[in-house]
Structure 1
Amino acid sequence: MSDLELIILTVVLILSVVQSILGMGLLVFGTPTLLLLGLPYSSCLAYLLPASIAISLFQVKGDVKIEKNEVREFFIWSILPLFISLAIVLSLDSNFKISLAVGILMLATVVIKLSSRLEFLFAINVKNNFHLYLVCMGVVHGISNLGGSVLSVISSVKYSEKKDVRRFISFCYLWFAIIQLIVLLFFYYDKFTYISLIVPVISSLMYIVIGKSVFNNIDSRKFNKIFILFMLIYSLLLITKGIQIW
């Protein structure tokens, strides 16, 4: 096993705990981490999607079922935009400056979350244009794997209880990852290696052993502050990498 493969497994192990708690983490932080290591976007997906699917399956199975109207809205307004945008990005692959795009999207999310006024105005805007944001979420996730940044806002607008928030996030993430996996298999089936089979085992173990119990005792506000700090650091690293400062 190479040093890079060991690093990938370590990243998955750590971020599986984060996703077990918040419903997201493997894609939001895993994608920029692997991009900073020099991996192409298609390889990032091949390593992270199986792990994300494994945890989401546990969470969706364990939580209360999502309502039918929510399922309908999500599939109608988010899945097709995700499919189209991901297919376009994968067809461009090396020519598309994914690091810069991901960095800008992360920084925009941080700016909104750091300002209570901006977050309030954004939440009102989401309520008034809910279907439009579902479309945006699908597109953003397709081109960057960061649909979770939009999804977290949508979930917090719709729900007040953390279990309901995570339930909605887990459901959306599960189906996003399944569609992404299908598209990736069509374009880049050769990107899947034996590591792609190991990562879902690791993520499942992390959820069962650590994540599930931590979620029930976590201080959500403190964790969100740490989450935002990491997003800020990653966004700056990716933007500077994207414009070739280093």
Structure 2
Amino acid sequence: MQIVDLIIVIAVFSIVQSIFGVGLLLFGTPTLLLIGYSYSETLWILLPCSVTISLIQTVDNYDLVMAKKKVAYFSIPIMTLSLIFVVSYDQVLDISKIVGFFLLFIGVVKFSPKLQTYLQSLVEKRLQLYYVLIGFVHGVSNMGGGPLSILMSTIYTDQVKIRANIAFVYLILALFQLIALFIIDTGALQNISVILMLTSLGVYLIANRYIANKINDKKYMWLINVLILTYGTLAIIK
């Protein structure tokens, strides 16, 4: 894939991220896997961009973040272990199908009030276990944003607080993903990573200022859910 194509992918999903609060990892991961990148290559491309955006979102509303200790205690350990396992056995495991499965699950949950109610009850009764679940899902598929958004929407009602806590958890998980990759993978940050980080930063800031506030994200959330199901199906049948 040419650098221009990667820039377009990062730019498009950074715009989606600015409007809906998710998108860069949720759609960027299956896109790159479908194109032919390995799981570790996909992470090397997306994670620096994710860190950049999440850092901006976190700094702006750090006083609203309440998830600091729980993500450190319950999500990071299992996320790190599951990531190491998946990357180590990347040649054996079909990561695309794993990602597709979790995408379909996320999409079905979005369209199923009963499943949403069940997961919300799990959050209320087994919060620590739910943080472990987020870590595992994120480690094996980079799709932890789905259960994470359900968690924060259950705990908080204010959209700013929800996005601030999601951004913080994304930031911490991405940082530990990068640390794990530095240790176990031969890949490394290159000039392309810097270019993509700057692209993501610039596009996000512009979109957040001039586009995000003018679009009713709830009105178009059904489209995001349809895209999630479409990506999930494509990833599984690949």
Q: What is the TM-score with the length of structure 1 in the denominator?
A: 0.92
Cα distance, 1:40–1:67 mapped onto 2, change above 3 Å: closer
Which SS does the other structure have where 1:73 is aligned? helix
- CA deviation map 1:145-189 (0-9, x unaligned): 000011011011011121111111100000111001111111224
Query: Aligned letter for 1:232?
Result: L
Runs of 5+ in structure 1 lacking a partner?
A: 242-246
Query: Which deviates more from structure 2 when the two are superposed, residues 3-12 or residues 184-193?
Result: 184-193
2:25 to 24, 27, 51: 27
- The aligned residue for residue 41 of structure 1 is 39
Residue 197 (structure 1) aligns with: 194
Verify the 8 A CA contact 2:65 2:161 in the aligned structure 1. Answer: no
Contact 1:42 1:184 in 2 (8 A): yes
Q: Which runs of 5+ in 2 are unaligned?
A: none
Give the residue type in structure 1 aligned to 2:41. S
Residue in structure 2 matching 1:97, options 88, 94, 97: 94
The equivalent position to 2:59 in structure 1, one of 58, 61, 86, is 61
| Contact residue 65 and residue 165 of structure 2 kept, 8 A | no
The alpha-carbon deviation at position 64 of structure 1 amounts to 4.3
Q: Is the 8 A contact 1:42 1:191 kept in 2?
A: no
In 2, Cα distance between the equivalents of 1:212 and 1:229?
Answer: 26
| Cα separation, 2, equivalents of 1:178 and 1:156 | 23
1:54-76 CA distance string (max 9 Å, x none): 111111111242445x2111111
Distance 1:97 1:52, change over 3 A: same
Select the residue among 200, 203, 207 that pairs with 2:204. Answer: 207
Q: Secondary structure at the match of 1:234?
A: helix
Q: Secondary structure at the match of 2:218?
A: helix
Structure 1 stretch 83-92 or stretch 17-26: which is displaced more? 17-26
Q: Is the 2:41–2:187 contact (alpha carbons within 8 Å) kept by the matching residues of 1?
A: no
AA of the residue aligned to 1:211: N
State how far apart, in whole Å, the 2-side matches of 1:178 and 1:116 are: 33
Q: Distance in 2 between matches of 1:66 and 1:142?
A: 26
Aligned residues of 1:21 and 1:212 also touching (Cα < 8 A): no
Tell me the residue number matched to 2:225.
228
Aligned partners of 1:43 and 1:191 also within 8 Å: no
Q: 1:159 to 1:27 in 2, by over 3 A?
A: same
Where does 1:1-246 land on structure 2 (aligned, <5 Å)? 3-67=1-65, 70-241=67-238
**Alpha-carbon offset, residue 37 of structure 1:** 0.1
Q: Is the Cα–Cα contact under 8 Å of residues 44 and 187 in structure 2 kept in the other structure?
A: no
- Measured after TM superposition, the shift of residue 200 of structure 1 is 0.9
Q: Distance in 2 between matches of 1:193 and 1:96?
A: 26
Deviates more, 1:192-201 or 1:30-39: 192-201
Post-superposition offset of 1:191 = 4.8
Worse-superposed segment, 187-196 or 161-170: 187-196
| Paired AA for residue 63 in structure 1 | N
Q: Using a 3 Å threshold, how does the CA distance of structure 1 residues 149 and 97 change in structure 2: closer, same or farther?
A: same
| Identity across matched positions, percent | 36
Give RMSD over aligned pairs. Answer: 1.5
